[in-house]
Structure 1
């Protein structure tokens, strides 16, 4: 099963593989470093929670599909509202820098996720 997931990942376009491995996962996982900040625990639950939902989808589908956009859309859309709200509060400088990076990365991700989610809902259910 793990081999099938890996092979599916490797069938994705190279830019998607790099986006996921070098930017998306590390930036969202970094939320765990800020759980002690005000709102940081909620942020980590939402940032990592969407990724854990995708891990479950990968196991069920034995690979990557457009269905993986749906947890991002459902969880990260309100999370970005939290990020914007936190940016309006007094926060530690390191946390503020992280919030700006997270906002930029997950905004780009959500644009792609809304497109993929729509495509999945319209019937594009293939696993890479």
Structure 2
């Protein structure tokens, strides 16, 4: 197990520094914050979609002994559904306002940027680029 963890850490370390920062200090925390808004309109659904996009990436590095393009796949469906949900909330609920509305904008931009990387990575994975970093 110790060697497996070392392989995963080494793989993460080989990623560009900006990707490491993006994932560890922005993408994951922004999606986890969704748990704070469970009682907000569609908050449970938004949180479920956030977690559904991240949860498989806890075990994929264990299976592959590192990080690869396969880690984009779990984001595609839940975060695309989330995108439509959040757009619907932001455009369809004029009473939304406040902290939750601001958070939804941050989440929308964050996961939209992630999906801009995830769609090409997923296509590359399906074309056979299945190595790890």
CA RMSD of aligned residues (A): 1.0
* Aligned partner of 2:112 among 107, 111, 116: 107
TM-score by length of 1: 0.95
Larger radius of gyration: 2
The question of 1:44 aligning with 2:60 is answered: no
SS at match of 1:64: coil
State the number of aligned residues.
128
Q: Which residue of 2 aligns with 1:97?
A: 102
Q: CA deviation at 1:31?
A: 0.5
Q: Which runs of 5+ in 1 are unaligned?
A: none
* Aligned partner of 2:126 among 96, 112, 121: 121
TM-score by length of 2: 0.91
Q: CA deviation at 1:2?
A: 2.3
Q: Which residue of 1 aligns with 2:5?
A: 2
Q: CA deviation at 1:92?
A: 4.3
The question of 1:27 aligning with 2:30 is answered: yes
Q: Larger deviation: 83-92 or 64-73?
A: 83-92
Q: Distance in 1 between matches of 2:7 and 2:38?
A: 34
Moved over 6 A (4+): none
